[in-house]
Amino acid sequence: MSELFNLLTIPFLLAMFLAINMGGSGTSPSFSAAYGANVIKKSMIPGLFGLMVLAGALIAGKEVSLTLGKGLLEHSFFTPLNTSIILFSVGVSLLIANLIGVPQSTSQATVLSIAGAATALDGLNTQKLFYEILPTWIILPIISFTIMLGLSKWIFPLLKSKFFTDNYSHLNDHKLLKAILILSSLYVAFSIGANNVANAAAPIASLTTNEIGQEVIHNTLPIIILSVLIVSPCFAIGSSLLGHKVTQKTGKEIITVSPFYATVIAVIVASLLLFASISKGIPTSLVQLNGGAFIALSISKKGFANTFKNQTVKRFFTIWAIAPIFAYILTLLLILILK
């Protein structure tokens, strides 16, 4: 038992560290609108965020965990060394993106890191990667962009009600609007739990199953649930430690966004993220869905040319392309060197 504990310690600590970073970065898209509109106290955010992330992971996160735990690479390959390398590569990729100041997709980094390990170990499920995951990564941000562009350019301008304006001075007079803001925040956190907890939980769940022995564990679901229960509270810790420092870079440097538009974007992004989680268990980029919607809003207000002259937009596309590939190459090289 002590030997098993020693083998699992480093991978579990790496998974928890990764979850803390994801919790810090996930707080902004979840609660920035509600907090910015002063309808929720800062002290309440980490607890609510953590609870909804846990609920999302337990209720709707199973399929994503299966994809990352054995869909790309058979669980038998998740040894302590390989799992540690995968989680380390994702963490380094996320750290570099954070230092540059660009929100990066942990899901894409995790998928490409596992794919790098699978390539090195000759176990890559190319069908899953090239025909299910990659098309989803392309299609869903386009859908997010298209929906937001249509709403902001042609639908919302037709609505004369003050509820659809950028002026939120009347917010305190309407409990319904306050409730909608808070519910949309909880909804985003739930969707993050359904899709992103698996980035940290799935590798250690497969590792644990592999180390205990598949012949002993006939049902892996309890292992997945246990891994989720270990990882999910770290999202709340990350939210508490890092969440208040996370600026809404997308909204501030692409276009300044009102609480109303932030809420609309949150609902669109969360719905697409939840769809990807439940339908096929595809780990999907929250930041790219979010970025697509913000870019659409900027185009509707500033025009296409001015939006794509924005240095932040250019930087986003560059890092979004480089960071997952970096995670793939780093994992591939480390496993080839150390195996």
pLDDT one-digit tens code per residue, 166-217:
555 556 667 777 788 889 989 999 999 999 999 999 999 999 888 887 666 6
Distance CA(275)–CA(336), nearest Å, equals 36
**H-type alpha helices, 67-174:** 80-100, 106-120, 126-128, 134-150
- Cβ-based neighbours of 139, under 8 Å, separated by 6 or more: none
Whether 251 shows a pLDDT value over 50: the answer reads no
Residue 283's pLDDT band (cuts 50, 70, 90): very high
**Three-state secondary-structure class, residue 285:** coil
Q: What is the mean pLDDT of the chain?
A: 83
Residue 80 has a pLDDT of: 92
The pLDDT tens digits for 288-307 are 898 888 889 889 888 888 88
Confidence of residue 164 (pLDDT cuts 50, 70, 90): low
Percent of the chain topping pLDDT 70 = 85
Q: What is the DSSP letter of 154?
A: I
Instruction: Please return the burial class of 333, using the count of CB atoms within 10 Å of its CB with bins 0-12, 13-18 and 19+.
Output: middle
Q: Structural domain boundaries of the chain? A: 2-338
Tell me the whole-structure pTM to 2 decimals: 0.88
